[in-house]
Amino acid sequence: MSAILCRVFLNCVSKQNSNLLKCPPVTSVAITSYGDRYKAASEKATNKSHRLQPLIVTKDALSSTIIKMPTESEKFVRRFPTSFQPYLEAMRVDKPIGTMLLLWPCYWSIGLATTAGKFPDITLLGLFACGAFLMRGAGCIINDMYDKDLDKSIQRTKGRPFASGRLSLLDGTMFLGGQLGAALIVLLQFDLNTILLGASSLALVCTYPLVKRFTHWPQLILGMAFNWGALLGWSAATNGELFLPAVLPLYTAGIFWTLIYDTIYAHQDRKDDLILGIKSTAIKFGDKTKQWLSLFSIGMISSLTLVGINTAQMWPFYVSVAAAAAHLGKQISTLNINDSEDCWKKFNSNHQLGLILFLGIILSTVIKQKPKKNES
């Protein structure tokens, strides 16, 4: 039986081998036939009915699909209970750049008013940091309550707490009252003149959100409100006194600075603002934005130079002013007003400019000799 099975197996193997040996050799004819088949398939694939259309991805479409990683400040907000997060977002705790832009003119003024040879009072700096945080948050809430319906129509702002319905106007009003109360406690730590000066800024804070509906210059009003600290800082550091030859050009420099960075910021929403009828310097300047920003930069640097002359600043101050001029030059020369992401980066970089000037003021004050009184 086993012998029979072996014979059957051998017969099968031999037949299979013989069939393999009968395969036609690969000739040039065979190659040609395969080539023809490939050519025909290629022609069919290139037919309009079978052709793959090119995928065109615009930069806007690509940026809208990119999932951006949360910043550290955004992560900080997300650590709080979900019910409290809208309040922090309304204050822009997740975007601290606004607080810093509000704070730097205060710090410049405090540094300039500090006694020669000394560092600024750390307690004073801390109080102004708290005040800037609270008042910037209050200003954002006032702005968002005014703009609730407008923000719903703008891609960048439709997720804000009031526009999205996560906070009601009543919620905002109550929270705003708490913030203003806390800011008042900070303000009451100063002398009477400084308290009155600080309280008077509230009119500008409340006016700014309205003017964008009537004039193309809301950034000017914002500059007047945002740089009030240039007056307030000097007053707080000198127990209610104001040296006008210093604080007025410093205030002017700050206004020019705000016109620069907030015009850049406004270009992010230029298209939506045109549709909604919202006015801004970004819309007014249009393609001539860089020329206008250059003029504002000249105004800012000239005003800062006048501050230095009137307060007898030393060389570190002028080095910092030159560095600020270079920073502005780079911002403006590389700015792409049609790229929202680039506008945000340029706007955000102004924090560095504020720091540069503050460091120059501190160093200048520290190395400055205190004038000696004439002995009789």
- pLDDT at position 50 is 41
Three-state DSSP at 133 gives helix
Residue with tokens 């705000």: 258
- pLDDT at position 248 is 98
Q: Whole-structure pTM over 0.85, yes or no?
A: no
- pLDDT at position 374 is 54
- pLDDT at position 26 is 42
Q: Which residues contact 144 (CB under 8 A, 6 or more apart)?
A: 90, 151, 160, 161, 162, 163, 172
pLDDT along the chain (376 residues), means of 10: 44 45 42 46 45 46 55 86 92 94 98 95 97 95 90 86 92 95 97 96 90 93 96 97 97 98 95 89 96 98 98 97 98 96 96 98 92 53
CATH number, domain 71-367: 1.10.357.140
The span from the CA of 148 to the CA of 357, in Å, is 36
Domain map of the chain by residue range? 71-367
Residue with tokens 């017969």: 11
For every residue of 293-340, DSSP letters joined together read HHHHHHHHHHHHHHHHHHTT--HHHHHHHHHHHHHHHHHHHH--TT-H
The span from the CA of 116 to the CA of 236, in Å, is 17
